Amino acid sequence: MKVEVCFSALEPWAEIRSYQERRKDLDGKFGATACFIGTMRDFNDGDGVSRMTLEHYPGMTQRHLEKIAAHATERFPVLDVLLIHRVGELSPNDPIVVVAVWSAHRGAAFDACRAIMEELKSTAPFWKKEILETGARWVAKNTPG
Amino acid sequence: MSIRVRFFASLREQMGYSEKSIAFEGLATVSDVLERLDKARILDAQVLYAVNMEYANSDTPVKDGDEVAFFPPVTGGGP
Per-residue pLDDT tens digits for B10-58:
999 988 999 999 887 887 999 889 888 877 667 766 899 999 999 999 9
Domain boundaries, chain B: 2-71
The helices-and-strands tally (H runs, E runs) of chain A is 3, 9
Q: What are the Cα distances from residue B52, in Å, to A63, A110, A112, B56?
A: 11, 33, 28, 9
- CATH C-level class of A2-138: alpha beta
Neighboring chain B residues of A42 at a CB cutoff of 8 Å: none
The structure's pTM equals 0.94
The CATH superfamily label for domain B2-71 reads Beta-grasp domain (3.10.20.30)
Give the amino acid at A88. Answer: G
Q: What is the DSSP letter of A26?
A: G
Q: CA A52, CA A39: separation in Å to the nearest integer?
A: 12
Over residues A32-66, the pLDDT tens digits come to 999 999 999 999 989 999 999 999 999 999 999 99
B 5-64 near A (Cβ less than 8 A)? 6, 8-10, 50, 53-55
Q: Domain residue spans in chain A?
A: 2-138
Cα separation of A97 and A92, whole Å?
13
Q: How far apart are CA A120 and CA A90, in angstroms?
A: 19
